[in-house]
Amino acid sequence: MNPPASTPLIEARQLVKRFGDFTAVGGINIEVRPGESFGFLGPNGAGKSSTMRMIGCVSPPTSGDLNIFGLDATRHGKQIRGRMGVVPQLDQLDEQLTVQDNLIVYGRYFDIPRAECKRRAQELLEFVQLTDRADSKIEPLSGGMKRRVSIARSLINEPDLLLLDEPTTGLDPQARHVLWDRLYRLKQQGVTLVLTTHYMDEAEQLCDRLVVMDGGRIVAEGSPNELIREHSPREVLELRYPAGTNEEHAFEVEGIGHRQEALPDRILIYADDGEVALKEVHARGSIPESVLVRRSSLEDVFLKLTGRSLVD
Amino acid sequence: MSLIDVAPLRIVPPQIRHARRPQRMLERQWMVNRAGGWIIFVTGFFEPLFYLLSIRVGFGALVGDVDDGGTLIPYAEFVAPALMAASAMNGAVYESTMNIFFKMKHEKLYDAVLATPMTSGDVALGEILNATLRGAVYSAAFLVTMGALDMTGSWWSILMLPVAVLIAFSFSAIGMAATTFMRSWADFEYVPAVMLPMFLFSATFYPLSSYGDWAWIVQLSPLYHGVATMRGLNTGDLSWAMLAHVGVLAALAVGGLTFTARRIERLLLP
C-alpha cells in the first residue's frame, strides 16, 4: 500500500549543488507524491542530472534538505538506495556477463537471495520482452534492447521509486514507443517514476507533473496541459521562408497573433486560432514556402520561458 | 557491536569499517569466471613452472651457493621464495590495474554498483580481495611447484603462502589506489616502469649485502619486505626483523585500501 497522498515520496527544500565555483543546481524545491510520474524538463546543463544524482543518493547535496521515503538523503543513503531503481543516462551494464546474469548479480547487490534473483530475472526479462536474449552477452544487443535490460535490472529490487535519466535519448522512434509502453505499465502498477528528458513529446506522454529547469533553477511547474495553457496560446502557426530571409519576412508578419518567435529556420506565430492568423499573413501578401498549423506543445512553453529552443 | 569496531581497528576509516557487502564483488567475479574467465588461472600456473625450471636447470648449476647473512644456501633455494613473492605481486597488480581501470572507466561498473546499497568501501575492499585472490592462487601454484621440485628448505615454508597472500593484498591495494589516478591506457606505461626495477632490485636475485651503500634504497621497495620474509621462512632461519617486514606490508595494505575507498568516493560520488 502506498502511504497517504499527503506524505511526499521526495521532498527537496532549497536544494543546492555546487562543483567548485560552478552552481549546477541553485536552490530548488520539489515534492513528488507516491504513484506520481514526475519529470524534469530542460536543455543540457540545466541541472537535471545533478538533481537526479542527489535524489539517487550518489552525490551529496551542497546545502538544503532532501528527504526520500521520509529519510534524510545525506545520512540514510544506503537504505534509500535499497528501495530505489535507477536507469542511468548511459547504460552501465556489466559487459562481462550475460543479460540474465546482469540482472541476477544486480539483485545480489541488494542482498536478495540467489534463487529469488533468478525467479525475478526471468519475470523481468519477460516484461521487457527479452526472454529469448537471456543468455546473450550485452555487446551484440541494439541500443533499445540495452535500455530495456537497464530497465529490467533497475526493477530487480521491486523499487518503490524508479529514476530514469533521459530514458529514450539516442533511441529510434520505434524503440522509444516500446519503452514508453513499458514505463506506462509500471506507472499503472503504482511505481513512482521520476525522469529527466529534453524531449517534449516524452514529457507529454509520461509525466503527470513536471518542472521546467534552466540554469540550475526551476522556471515553471505544473501538468503538461497546465503549462501549455498558462504559457502558450492554443495554436501555433509555423512559417518557413527561403533560407536566410527570415528577418525580412518577420517584418511582413509583425503584429499577427499574441507573440512571435523568429527561429533560424522558421517563424512561429502564437495565436488562439492558427487559421485566422494564416489568413492575415496571406492578406498582407507574404508568401512562405510552407506553412503548418499545430497545437501548442511544451516546446513552445520552453521557448517562451527561456528564450531558447530546447534541442540546439 | 561487530568485531571490526574494536578500538585498535579505529585507524581503519569508516568507509572500510562499515563495508558490509565486499563479498558481492567476489561473487560477481565468480560469475564472470564461470563464463570463461578462469583461463587466467591456467596461464598463471605455467609462469612459476617455467621460472623455477629455468633457475633449477640453468642458474642453479652456474652459481652454486649464496651467502645469505652468514648461512650458505643453494642458489635455487635462495631465489625461489623471492620469485614466489614477485609472482604474488604480479598476479595482484595485473588484476588491480588494467582490469580495474577497464571496469571503472569503460564499463562504468562501479557507477552501477554504487547506485545500490553497496558503498565505496564495499567496492574497494571487494575488488582488492578479488585481486588478492588471483595473487594467492598464483602463489599456491608456485609453492606446490617448489615443493615438487624439492626447492623448499624447511617446514616453515608452508607459512610462505599466508605471507604471499599479504603481499598480494598490499600490492592490490597500492595498484588499485594508483589506478584511480590513471586517465588513459597510456598511463599504464608507468606500471612496468615501476614494477620491473622493483622486481630486479628487491634483493630478489642477490643478497642485500651485495648492494653495499645502496642497500637503503632496496629497503624502500615494498617487494623487498616480502622477499625477506619469504626467504627467512623458506630456510627456516627466523628472526624478529621478519615481523617488522610483515608490519610494513600490513601498513601498506591498510593505507592503500583506505586511500582507494576515499578516491572512489571522490571520483564516482562527487
**Which chain B residues are within 8 Å of A106, Cβ to Cβ?**
112, 116
Interatomic CA distance for residues A208 and B162, integer angstroms: 60
In sequence order, what are the beta bridge partners of A235? A271, A295
A100–chain B nearest CA distance, Å: 11
Mean confidence (pLDDT) of chain B: 87
Q: Which residues of A touch B269 (CB under 8 A)?
A: 58-60
Contact in structure between A127 and A156 (CB atoms under 8 Å): no
CB-CB neighbors (< 8 A) of A59 in chain B: 269-270
Work out the pLDDT band at A237, boundaries 50, 70, 90.
very high
**Angle between the A173-188 and A143-154 helix axes, to the nearest 10 degrees?**
10
Q: Least CB-CB distance to B117: which of A19, A59, A109?
A: A109
Whole-number Å distance between alpha carbons of A235 and A275: 9
Q: Among A97, A109, A162, which would you mutate to test the B interface (most chain B Cβ atoms within 10 Å of its Cβ)? A: A109
Taking 60 as the threshold, does the pLDDT of residue B4 lie above it?
no
pLDDT tens column, A212-231 = 999 999 999 999 989 988 88
CB A289 within 8 Å of CB A269? no
Q: Which of B27, B109, B115 sits opposite A81 (nearest CB)?
A: B115
Which residue in A96, A108, A150 has the most chain B C-beta atoms within 10 A of its own C-beta, making it the best mutation to test that interface?
A96
**For residues B253 and B31, what is the distance between their CA atoms, to the nearest angstrom?**
26
Which chain A residue has its CA at the smallest distance from B122's CA?
A: A109
Cβ–Cβ under 8 Å, residues A69 and A9: yes
* pLDDT tens track for A12-44: 999 999 999 999 999 999 999 999 999 999 888
Q: Name the maximum alpha-carbon separation found in chain A.
A: 74
Cβ-nearest to B31 among A19, A82, A97: A97
- pLDDT higher than threshold 70 for residue A301: yes
**AA identity, residue B267:** L
* A10, three cell numbers: 521526495
CA separation for the pair B58, A292 (Å, rounded):
87
Give pairs for A216-225: CB < 8 Å, separation 24+: A216/A23, A216/A24, A216/A25, A216/A26, A216/A28, A216/A46, A216/A47, A216/A50, A217/A26, A217/A27, A217/A28, A217/A47, A218/A28, A218/A29, A218/A30, A219/A305, A219/A306, A220/A301, A220/A305, A224/A298
Pairwise CA distance, residues A20 & A24, whole Å: 10
Please give the average per-residue pLDDT across A173-190, as a whole number: 89
Helix orientation angle between B39-54 and B75-94, rounded to the nearest 10 degrees: 160
Confidence of residue A250 (pLDDT cuts 50, 70, 90): confident
Residues of A with CB under 8 A from a CB of B: 19, 56, 58-60, 78-79, 81-82, 86, 88, 90, 92-98, 101, 104-106, 108-111, 157
pLDDT band at A1 (very low <50, low <70, confident <90, very high): very low
Q: What mean pLDDT comes out for the span B189-196? A: 90
Does the structure show a pLDDT above 90 at B245? yes
Longest pairwise C-alpha distance within chain B: 59
Say if the Cβ atoms of A109 and B35 lie within 8 Å: no
Which residue, chain included where needed, has cell 587466467?
B40
- In A, which residues are within 8 Å of B27 by CB distance? 105, 108
pLDDT score at B135: 87
CA B132, B135, B141, B143 torsion-angle sign? negative
Q: What residue in B sits closest to A62 (Cα-Cα)?
A: B270
C-alpha B132/C-alpha A144 separation (Å) is: 38
Do B116 and A59 make contact, defined as CB atoms within 8 angstroms? no
Judge: A108–B28 Cβ closer than 8 Å, yes or no.
Answer: yes
Query: What integer is the mean pLDDT of B39-53?
Result: 75
Q: Does B14 touch chain A (CB under 8 A)?
A: no
Q: Which chain B residues are within 8 Å of A78, Cβ to Cβ?
A: 117, 119
Distance set, CA B33 to CA B36, B40, B45, B113, B137 (Å) = 5, 9, 16, 19, 14
Q: Which helix (H) or strand (E) holds A26?
A: strand A22-32
Given an 8 Å threshold on Cβ–Cβ distance, is A90 in contact with B108? yes
Q: Provide the pLDDT for residue A157.
A: 95
Nearest to A213 by CA among A10, A19, A17, A70: A17
Reported pTM: 0.86
Q: How confident is residue B130, by pLDDT bands cut at 50, 70 and 90?
A: very high
The CA distance from A180 to B266, in Å, is 35
pLDDT confidence tier of residue B55, bands split at 50, 70 and 90: confident
Q: Which of chain B's residues have a Cβ under 8 Å away from the Cβ of A58?
A: 111, 114-115, 268-269
> Does ipTM top 0.90?
no
Using CB atoms, pick whichever of B21, B28, B111 lies closest to residue A92.
Answer: B111
Query: Which residue from B minimizes the CA distance to A80?
Result: B117
Task: Tell me the range of A58-72, B20-34, B180-194, B211-225 where mean pLDDT is highest.
Answer: A58-72
Q: Is the pLDDT of residue A6 over 70?
A: no
Q: Of A57, A45, A55, which Cα lies nearest the Cα of A19?
A: A45
